[in-house]
Structure 1
Amino acid sequence: MFDLRRLRLLHELSVRGTLAAVADALAYSPSTISQQLAQLEREAGVALLQPDGRRVRLTPQGEALAAHAARMLEADEQARAELERMQPSLAPVRVAVMQSAAHGLVPTALTLLAEREPTLRVEVAELAPEEGLFELAARGFDLVIAEQYPGHTREHRSGLERTLLGHDDVRLALPPGEAPAELADLRERAWVLEPRGTAAREWATQQCRAAGFEPDVRFELADLTAHVRLVAAGHAVGMIPDLVHAGAAAPVRTVELPGMPRRDIFTAVRRGSTERAALRAVQDALQDAFDAIRPSEP
């Protein structure tokens, strides 16, 4: 029989690519992981790894077993979810959340959960959507809150299921007291945008280009609350999603962008864990928190 813990190590290696990355993610030493994978090879009776410079890579047999390991891990989650449904234990839920949701959704959702499921432990870490979805597939988290901008679809990873929470308007942000302006009028202004490589940065840049100019990005920050403060202080203009303000009055002047764009806010979980009572409780609380901010959401 294969040991499920060793199969998970093989699965992690197939996803993360290096023993060091697996060790870092699971808080094991690389030598421990090597020893466990060597034992898995003995159980399998075939070579699963082969040297590749200073690293190792999976053999064809290793890739085949890693694919089976993913299905076995999903079946394990399904079994645990059914047992939890029959006798609720509300095991901890690990949530990866993008920053705007950490500000706008998580506090309200946790308040609801404290009333509904006072014994449920929820652990939250802030991660960019790209990283959060990867870690969810790699079993680093149980649930992810992420976003998708118009025209910039995210990769659908095998084994993950998404649930749309709703839509979040993205608006042009100007210093308070400043007269409303069209996007094309801001070609000479300093801009604050998210870092290169993020979907938000690519989308915002495309909006500016469609208006006929390349934005002068003087401030490149992942922290959207810093965006708001820079704009409020008159140092920049930007594009800010409504969720950042968590339903409160924005401290900046907001102006509709062409086409009134909205990003999708969604949760994602692994398919094998969809029936977990604890996960459903967290998803319900997040939905209620979002609906409280956007009560008129169509």
Structure 2
Amino acid sequence: MLDLRRLRLLRELAHRGTLAAVAEALSYSPSTVSQQLSQLEAEAGVALLEPAGRRVRLTPQAEILVAHTERILEQLERAQADVAASTALVGGEIRVAAFQTAVLALLPAALTVLARDHPRLRVHLTEAEPEQALPALLARDFDVVVAEEYPDSPQPRPAEVDVEDLLADPIRLAHPPGRRTPRSQAALAQLAGHPWAMEPAGTAARAWAVAVCRKAGFEPDVRYETSDLLLQIRLVEAGHAAAFVPDLAWNGRRPTVATRPLPKPQAHRRVLTAVRRGHAEHPSVLAVRRALALARETYTSLSKTLQEHRKDS
């Protein structure tokens, strides 16, 4: 009989990549993890790990076991959700990860709703970009992830993940002061020689932003790399850079720099929630998604004033 605890260690190795990472995540010593996996090999009767330089990698037989373990853990989460749904109260702890602008614009109102409606639910919130948060969701480090998808850059959606759209977030050109604000994709080329602030290379936001500039006929001069959109805005305010800024970054307030819409279909990013499929019906997950939906309505109401300002400007 295969031991489920050891199967979970094998699954953790598949997600985290190294024995040291598994040990750190689970508060074990690397030698303990190695010993438990050796015992799992004896139980399975086949080799599960093979050397790969200074690391180890999973054999095809180990991959088979990991796939079965995923299905077992999903079923266990469904069982937990059914038990939790049979009680009258939503409680315990839920771990939420969200990117910066969602944390600023949506999570405070959502936390207010949760504190009011479910005072026994403890929410642990972490600011994390989707590139880190979504793999961590599969590794069971988070229960709910608020993520973003840029046009033509959809995030991978493993079969174990349940995704719901939250809102469409317009992205606009934030123009440095003292320059004529371009109003079309062709006019965007006026900024060909201007410095840009963008998110780091390797992120979906950066790939999207570079593609928009290339469609306008130039390669952006990216001098400032940061995932902090508030810092990007400060750089634009000071005249040091141009940037692409989504509406969520203003949190329903009037922009402090000139902005203009981008040509469709590049004009919106999608904001979504992602959870593990087996956990999707858990009352705490449903409560968080409902609270985020209510926070979206509050944000939408606040942003109407911003939209009217743009029509008048």
Q: TM-score range by the shorter chain?
A: over 0.9
Residue in structure 2 matched with residue 155 of structure 1 by the alignment: 156
Off by >4 Å, runs of 4+ in structure 1: 176-179
Partner Cα distance (1:177, 1:119) in 2 = 52
Which of 274, 282, 290 in structure 2 is aligned with 1:284?
290
The answer to whether the aligner puts 1:76 opposite 2:76 as a matched pair is yes
How far has the Cα of 1:25 moved from its partner? 2.8
User: Are the counterparts in 2 of residues 176 and 251 from structure 1 also a CA contact under 8 Å?
Assistant: no
How far has the Cα of 1:64 moved from its partner? 1.7
Partner Cα distance (1:59, 1:210) in 2 = 44
Between the two proteins, the alignment pairs up a number of residues equal to 297
How far has the Cα of 1:222 moved from its partner? 1.1
Residue in structure 2 matched with residue 191 of structure 1 by the alignment: 196
Partner Cα distance (1:220, 1:34) in 2 = 39
The answer to whether the aligner puts 1:257 opposite 2:262 as a matched pair is yes
CA pair 59-257 structure 1, distance change in 2 beyond 3 A: closer
Residue in structure 2 matched with residue 244 of structure 1 by the alignment: 249
CA pair 218-276 structure 1, distance change in 2 beyond 3 A: same
Residue in structure 2 matched with residue 207 of structure 1 by the alignment: 212
Partner Cα distance (1:26, 1:103) in 2 = 30
* Identical positions, percent: 52
The answer to whether the aligner puts 1:271 opposite 2:277 as a matched pair is yes
Q: Which digits, 9 at most, give the CA deviation of each residue in 1:157-211, with x for residues without a partner?
A: 2200100001000000024576432422211211111111111111111111111
Partner Cα distance (2:213, 2:61) in 1 = 49
How far has the Cα of 1:61 moved from its partner? 2.6
Partner Cα distance (1:51, 1:201) in 2 = 35
CA pair 237-105 structure 1, distance change in 2 beyond 3 A: same
Partner Cα distance (1:32, 1:264) in 2 = 43
Q: Which digits, 9 at most, give the CA deviation of each residue in 1:14-57, with x for residues without a partner?
A: 22222122223333221121122223234334432233343222
1:15-94 matched pairs, under 5 angstroms: 15-87=15-87, 88-94=89-95
Residue in structure 1 matched with residue 307 of structure 2 by the alignment: none
How far has the Cα of 1:89 moved from its partner? 4.9
Name the aligned partner's letter for residue 230 of structure 2. T
Computed over aligned residues only, the root mean square deviation of the Cα atoms, in angstroms, reads 1.9
1:111-190 matched pairs, under 5 angstroms: 111-175=112-176, 179-181=180-182, 182-190=187-195
Residue in structure 2 matched with residue 294 of structure 1 by the alignment: 300
Partner Cα distance (2:215, 2:206) in 1 = 14
Bigger mean CA deviation after superposition, 23-32 or 209-218? 23-32
Partner Cα distance (1:245, 1:47) in 2 = 54
Runs of 5+ in structure 1 lacking a partner?
none
User: Are the counterparts in 2 of residues 189 and 216 from structure 1 also a CA contact under 8 Å?
Assistant: yes
User: Are the counterparts in 1 of residues 90 and 118 from structure 2 also a CA contact under 8 Å?
Assistant: no
Partner Cα distance (1:209, 1:47) in 2 = 49
Partner Cα distance (2:201, 2:59) in 1 = 35
SS of the counterpart of 1:121?
strand
Partner Cα distance (2:43, 2:144) in 1 = 33
Length-normalised TM-score, structure 1: 0.93
Residue in structure 2 matched with residue 230 of structure 1 by the alignment: 235
User: Are the counterparts in 2 of residues 144 and 269 from structure 1 also a CA contact under 8 Å?
Assistant: yes
Partner Cα distance (1:242, 1:252) in 2 = 12
Name the aligned partner's letter for residue 65 of structure 2. L
User: Are the counterparts in 2 of residues 4 and 73 from structure 1 also a CA contact under 8 Å?
Assistant: no
Residue in structure 1 matched with residue 311 of structure 2 by the alignment: none
Length-normalised TM-score, structure 2: 0.89
User: Are the counterparts in 2 of residues 161 and 271 from structure 1 also a CA contact under 8 Å?
Assistant: yes
Runs of 5+ in structure 2 lacking a partner?
305-313
Partner Cα distance (1:152, 1:48) in 2 = 35
Partner Cα distance (2:172, 2:132) in 1 = 25
